[in-house]
Structure 1
Amino acid sequence: MSNRTENENLWGVKMSGELVTGYASGVWDLFHIGHLRLLERAAERCDRLIVGCLTDEAAKHKGSRPIIPLIERMELMRSLRFVHSVVPDYGLDKIKAWEEHKFDAFFKGDDWRGTPRGDQWERDFAEVGVRLVWLPYTLHRSSSTIKAVIREGTSPVIQVEK
């Protein structure tokens, strides 16, 4: 079932019955509204959304191991009605994920845009014809800020983004 109207696609041009497969990768630890909004926005832009969950080892780039084990993070992603499949993601080299899953679009929060890794993804995906779509990052909510609140014992002001 398509999340798009019949006459639009990821790029806003008509397609001839082709399905767009999207891939969104993340740690997805302490699942929160920012994660949900990013995945909803990704699903709106493709027909089939594959979600990659970084393994505990691959998530070390964040500075610490995830709190929620991989198997549980994957189960949470599978419970989202607009997610078609969930796969383990073994690293930040997304071309390896593309080689395995052959997606048409890669969705990532725009907090990665302009970073060395984000620039590398842009180059890598341009070479293989994958569209890199930067989606809005939820500034007021992240797993890192939630962990900091827990460590500090403070009560954050909760703002719900619609």
Structure 2
Amino acid sequence: MIIGYTTGVYDLFHVGHLNLFKNARGMCDRLVVGVTVDELVQYKGKKALIPFEDRIELVRSCKYVDAAVPQYDMDKLAACKKLGATYLFVGDDWFGTDKWKKYEEEFVREGIHIVYFPYTKGISSTKITESLRNSHGLVLK
């Protein structure tokens, strides 16, 4: 059985997230999605608009997701090993960066393949938040 893993905050769930799950699920038998807990989002200097419990339930409810688990830290290699994942799916904005070149070397030694998917053009939670802020005058932190 091929197990795939991906992670994210999944705040303001949108079609780009759905595309990621759909494409990832097409490459594995079981897709596990790590949903970033609120404390880790804050550590990254942000604040989720939607609470963790709601975000994980939205992800869990997606038909392409076989399991949703909390992501408590940024150690994707440890998560893949714990879950038995042989594929890690990430956005292509990381492709070619020094950090991810190093990750690729570490992951390949463990028999885990990193697959980069292109972002869905024109959509992101950040863009949705900015649009709401600009067009509706909402105060979003």
TM-score > 0.5 by shorter chain: yes
The aligned counterpart of 1:114 is 96
Higher relative contact order (CA 8 A, sep 6+): 2
Q: CA RMSD in A?
A: 1.6
Q: Give the TM-score normalised by structure 2.
A: 0.88
Q: How does 1:55-74 map to 2 (within 5 A)?
A: 55-60=37-42, 63-74=45-56
The aligned counterpart of 1:10 is none
Deviation at 1:72, TM superposition (A): 0.7
Task: Report Cα offsets for 1:53-94 as digits up to 9, x if no partner.
Answer: 011222246541111111111100111112111100112221
The aligned counterpart of 1:85 is 67
Deviation at 1:150, TM superposition (A): 1.2
The amino acid that maps onto 2:130 is A
The aligned counterpart of 2:139 is none
Q: How does 1:12-161 map to 2 (within 5 A)?
A: 19-60=1-42, 63-153=45-135
Q: Percent identity?
A: 40
Structure 1 unmatched runs, 5+ = 1-18, 155-162
**Paired positions, count:** 136
The amino acid that maps onto 2:89 is F
Structure 2 unmatched runs, 5+ = 137-141
| Distance in 2 (alpha carbons) for counterparts of 1:109 and 1:62 | 18
Bigger radius of gyration: 1
Task: Report Cα offsets for 1:15-34 as digits up to 9, x if no partner.
Answer: xxxx1000011111100011
Q: Which runs of 4+ in 1 moved over 6 A?
A: none
